[in-house]
Amino acid sequence: METATSKPHFVLVPWIGGISHILPMTDIGCLLASHGAPVTIITTPVNTPFVQSRVDRATPNGSEIAVTAVPFPAAEAGLPEGCERLDLIPSPAMVPGFFSASRKFGEAVARHCRRQDGPRRPSCIIAGMCHTWALGVARELGVPCYIFHGFGAFALLCIEYLFKHRRHEVLASADELVDIPVLPPFECKVLGRQMPPHFLPSTSMGSGWMQEVREFDMAVDGIVVNSFEELEHGSAALLAAGAGKKVFAVGPVSLCHEPILDPQAASDDAKRCMTWLDAKEAKSVVYVSFGSIGRMPAPQLMQLGMALVSCPWSVLWVLNSADTLPGDVQDWLHQNTDADGVAHSKCHVVRGWAPQVAILDHPAVGGFMTHCGWGSTLEGVAAGVPMVTWPFFAEQFINERLIVDVLGIGVSIGVTKPTENVLTAGKLGGAEAKAEIGAEQVKKALERLMDEGEHLRRKAQELKEKARVVLEEGGSSYMNLEKLIHSFV
């Protein structure tokens, strides 16, 4: 019989762009360990406690999974001490410094890997999307290098198509519609300005860096995707054919955790939020969250807020930008929403981090207003909750097309312009600080979701049923984890 030690040792190095890269790669590590493969997750000291506690929650004692901290030279690169994720940098001017520190971090990881021998020697490296240095380490050690982008298979397929057909090079304007016909008969059209950053005129990292990331993409031996085969209409297989690589769809990886709060570990905010939900009727609440890094300009936030407090549904609104808002917006929030989780209040605001997976799984939640980050999208799918889609940037406009046009589980809010972020700061040309979406438009979309969206809810529930079984023995993601473990031995 195969033993844990006869299985390959996976070394996972999540990209430190944000929590949303670290979360799913940690979960992939937990899933591999649950299939008996030894796993080491390597991250920076600041990110280690968080990864360790997630691992502790998901894996039973005795699993062969270790979390290793390798120093991140923030100060050397002119970054504040402890600035070990891209979302922690105080200014876009520090982006190049962050990337140079992450390269040095890569050199330190390489030294660490070289020192390991026997069963601790890596058999395979799974690297987060911007850890381009990982390929050299894997080649030196003579082991495969797989990549985890954090995107879904459909978005990766669209990106592959855009690279091959170079549509972005012949765009007359950013308002032109780009047709990405990767999954007929479904249409996928986005505006030039809504394309993923690879195809935008410029980012803080410049075209040389994007080229390096692309070359890394093309050179790796395989792609690990947080998705499941039944979801994206064959996108994973098409991606494998298009990119000429193995693609392993092993999600939804968040299902490796029970979707409930650990009362011991949960913050008071998190507990308040669940108690508030407990007092609500089934499917009566709209959950509003735009991920871990999305920041809405203050005027847009006011329009959204006015719709949320005056719509007929209860709203649980996660606001991670509260601390950077102007005083008058703060005052308005204070007067019009509730931050304490008073049971009968209509609009409960969580400032900071909310227990999203547990919230989405709560019976009171009937709709999800999301920025279409892939992690959130898949968590919404796994919970069977239909969505209002409000993409911000990156590949989120493509995810919106998947949610609305392909899966039929969402209503688009109708945003046309991406929002600025740390990598594009000041360069998109479309992100004025004024509101693109008015309060009435928000209410209309919510109405279509909550009042008229029975067909969306039905489809979302069907997908939930499919998602529920894929990680069980014999399910597609379970089998793909097995294939991943046996893909090179």
Q: Using CB under 6 A as the criterion, which residues of the chain lie in contact with ligand UDP when the complex forms?
A: 18-20, 23, 289, 291-294, 318, 353-354, 356-357, 373-376, 379
285-303 burial by CB neighbour count: b if 16+ within 10 A, else e?
Answer: bbbbbbbbbbbbbbebbbb
* Edge-to-edge strand list for the sheet holding 347-351: 347-351, 314-319, 285-289, 365-370, 387-389, 410-412
Beta carbon nearer to ligand UDP, 47 or 289: 289
Question: Which helix (H) or strand (E) is 60 found in, with range?
Answer: none
CA distance linking residue 209 with residue 221, whole number of Å: 21
What is the nearest approach in angstroms of ligand UDP to the Cβ of residue 293? Answer: 5
> Collapsing DSSP states into helix, strand and coil, what is residue 418?
coil
CA distance linking residue 67 with residue 29, whole number of Å: 10
Contact (Cβ atoms closer than 8 angstroms) between residue 245 and residue 325: no
What is the nearest approach in angstroms of ligand UDP to the Cβ of residue 379? Answer: 5
Beta carbon nearer to ligand UDP, 276 or 374: 374
Beta carbon nearer to ligand UDP, 237 or 322: 322
What is the nearest approach in angstroms of ligand UDP to the Cβ of residue 240? Answer: 22
Beta carbon nearer to ligand UDP, 9 or 390: 390
Contact (Cβ atoms closer than 8 angstroms) between residue 94 and residue 79: yes
Residue with tokens 């990549």: 147
What is the nearest approach in angstroms of ligand UDP to the Cβ of residue 142? Answer: 33
Beta carbon nearer to ligand UDP, 150 or 453: 150
CA distance linking residue 458 with residue 384, whole number of Å: 8
Provide the 8-state DSSP code for 276: H
Beta carbon nearer to ligand UDP, 110 or 159: 159
What is the nearest approach in angstroms of ligand UDP to the Cβ of residue 394? Answer: 7
Beta carbon nearer to ligand UDP, 165 or 257: 257
What is the nearest approach in angstroms of ligand UDP to the Cβ of residue 450? Answer: 21
Provide the 8-state DSSP code for 371: -
What type of residue sits at position 50?
F
What is the nearest approach in angstroms of ligand UDP to the Cβ of residue 396? Answer: 8
What is the nearest approach in angstroms of ligand UDP to the Cβ of residue 316? Answer: 11
Give the other-Cβ count within 10 Å of 132's Cβ.
Answer: 22
Give the other-Cβ count within 10 Å of 264's Cβ.
Answer: 5
Contact (Cβ atoms closer than 8 angstroms) between residue 177 and residue 195: no
| Nearest-CB residue for ligand UDP | 373
Beta carbon nearer to ligand UDP, 292 or 480: 292
